[in-house]
Amino acid sequence: MSKVDIDGGSQLSGLITADPEVVSCELADGAALLDLRSSTYFSLNEAGAFMWAALATPCTTHDLIDKVHQHYAVSRPQCASDVTAWLEKLADANLLRIEDAPAS
């Protein structure tokens, strides 16, 4: 897992997207994920389901923080910390695909 320092915290670098080997199902209060490789289920609350849906399109950690910050009434530092921690948990569980961002 590649990390860089952005917004004062450790963050995943590159373009992040949901791994295609993970399927999701929306629930009334969140979402359920199934890793097809390991047959392991994961549950997401409403905020997690929002972020997972945002990962249908590749984005950077910074982009995802911006989306969550605009959607929820939370301070930017708290948002950056929460999103980063959530992404790191999903990356540790091999639920994400992380690719190098194209050079600008």
Please give the domain boundaries of the chain with CATH numbers for all domains: 3-97 (3.90.930.60)
Residue 102: what pLDDT?
Answer: 67
Cβ atoms of 79 and 41 within 8 Å: the answer is: no
Write out the H or E segment, with its range, that includes residue 74: none
Q: Are 82 and 90 in contact (CB under 8 A)?
A: no
Q: What is the pLDDT of residues 75-87, one digit of tens each?
A: 999 999 999 999 9
What CA–CA distance (Å, rounded) separates 41 from 69? 27
- H/E element, 100: none
Residue in 13, 93, 102, 103 with CA at minimum distance from that of residue 60: 13
Predicted structure pTM score: 0.84
